[in-house]
Chain A
Amino acid sequence: MSISFVIADDHVLMRQGLIQLLSADSDLKVIGECGDGIALIELVLKLNPDVVVMDISMPHMSGLVAIDKLLAQRPDSKVLVLSMHDEQEYIEAMREAGAKGYILKESSGDKLISAIKAVANGRTTFPDSVEKNLDMHNTTKYLNPVSVLTRREREVFFLVVAGNTSRKIAELLAMSLKTAENHRSNIYKKLQVSSSAELVRLAGKAGLLE
Chain B
Amino acid sequence: MSDDKLAKLLAQIQQQQAQLQNRLDTEQQSLSQLAKRLWAQQESEKARLSRELHDGVGQLLTGLTRRLQGLSKQYSELDELVELSELALADVRQLSRLMSPTILDDLGLVPALKWLSRSLFSHEDIEVELQLDNDVTANHEINILVYRIVQESFVNIVKHANATKVMLLLSSHHQTLRLDVVDNGDGFDNNCITQGIGLNSMQDRARAFDAELTIKSTPNKGTRITLTVCK
Contact = CB atoms under 8 A, between A and B. Distances in A.
Chain B binding site: helix, strand, loop or mixed by DSSP?
helix
Interface range on chain B (Cβ under 8 Å from partner): 20 to 34
Given A89-B118, A197-B81, A200-B84, 11 more contacts: A57-B105, A63-B106, A85-B106, A89-B111, A134-B119, A134-B122, A137-B120, A140-B158, A141-B158, A197-B83, A197-B87
Contact of A93 (B93, B111, B123, B158): B111
B53 to A, nearest CB: 13
Contacts of B111: 89-90, 92-93
B155 interface: yes
Chain A binding site: helix, strand, loop or mixed by DSSP?
helix
A63 B106 CA distance: 7
A2 interface: no
A93 B110 CA distance: 11
B98 to A, nearest CB: 7
Contact of A136 (B62, B84, B90, B107): B90
B107 A90 contact: yes
B93 A133 contact: yes
B102 interface: yes
Interface in A92-146: 92-93, 106, 132-138, 140-141
Q: Which 7 A-B pairs have the closest CB atoms?
A: A133-B90, A197-B83, A138-B123, A136-B94, A197-B84, A89-B111, A140-B158
A87 B115 contact: yes
A64 B107 contact: yes
B78 to A, nearest CB: 11
Interface of B: 62, 80-81, 83-84, 86-88, 90-91, 93-94, 98, 102-103, 105-108, 111-112, 114-115, 118-120, 122-124, 155, 158-159
A49 to B, nearest CB: 23
Contacts of B80: 163, 195-197
A198 interface: yes
A162 B81 CA distance: 13
Interface of A: 56-57, 62-64, 85, 87-90, 92-93, 106, 132-138, 140-141, 163, 195-198, 200-201
Nearest to B98: A137
Contacts of A62: 105-106
B182 to A, nearest CB: 19
Contacts of A87: 103, 115
A6 to B, nearest CB: 21
B84 A90 contact: no
Contacts of A197: 80-81, 83-84, 86-87
A163 B87 CA distance: 16
A100 B177 CA distance: 34
A65 to B, nearest CB: 10
A135 B123 contact: yes
A195 B87 CA distance: 11
